[in-house]
Amino acid sequence: MCEQHHISPEAQRQLDALSHFHLTRDKGLDVYNPNDNADTTYLVNPPHSAEALRDVTKLLDELLHKKRLVISRRQETGQGLIKRIRNEKTRLVESCALLTRDYFSGYEIDRDIDVLLGVNERMGVGALAGLPLHTNIDGKTVHEHYLKYLRQIRQWLITPEMRRYRSNLRVRRQRRVEAIDAAVKDALSLCRRARLIRVDGNYLQSVRPTVTPDRISSDLDRMVRNMRHNKRHFGGLVLAVLKIEYGPEKGYHWHGYFIYDGDLVHKDMLKGKYILNYWIKVVTKGDGSGFNVNSASARHQLASRLGIHEGHLAIGAFRPGDPLQHANLNTLVNYLGKEQQSIRVTQDTRIRSLRIVRGPRYRGIRTNTEIDQDTLSRRAS
pLDDT reported for residue 20: 52
Q: What is the pLDDT of residue 310?
A: 76
Whole-structure pTM value? 0.71
Distance CA 308, CA 310 (A): 6
Domain ranges of the chain: 9-30+175-374, 48-158
Distances in whole angstroms, Cα of residue 90 to Cα of each of 4, 32, 73:
37, 33, 10
At 47 the three-state DSSP class reads coil
CA distances (Å), 232 to each of 228, 235, 236, 237, 272, in order?
Answer: 11, 6, 9, 11, 15
User: What would the pLDDT profile of 100-129 be if each residue is shown by its tens digit?
Assistant: 887 666 566 778 888 999 999 999 999 999
Nearest Cα neighbor of 330 from 230, 185, 213 is 185
pLDDT reported for residue 78: 65
- pLDDT in the model for residue 79: 64
d(CA 42, CA 29): 8
Q: Can you say whether the dihedral through the CA atoms of 221, 224, 228, 231 is positive or negative?
A: positive
pLDDT value of residue 323? 80
| Backbone dihedral angles phi then psi of residue 190, each to the nearest 5 degrees | -85, -20
Residue 20 CA to residue 15 CA, distance in Å, equals 9
Residue 276: predicted pLDDT: 93
**What's the confidence (pLDDT) of residue 249?**
66
What is the gyration radius of the CA atoms in the chain, in angstroms?
A: 24
pLDDT given at position 365: 84
In this prediction, the residues of the chain whose per-residue pLDDT falls under 70 are 1-54, 67, 76-82, 103-108, 247-249, 305-308, 339-350, 368-381
Strands (E), the chain: 72-76, 82-86, 136-137, 140-141, 194-203, 237-247, 251-261, 288-292, 316-317, 354-358
Pairing assessment for the beta strands 136-137 and 82-86 based on DSSP bridges: unpaired
| CA distances (Å), origin 38, targets 70, 101, 152, 269 | 39, 33, 44, 19
Give dist(CA 57, CA 60) in Å, integer: 5
CB 143 within 8 A of CB 134: yes
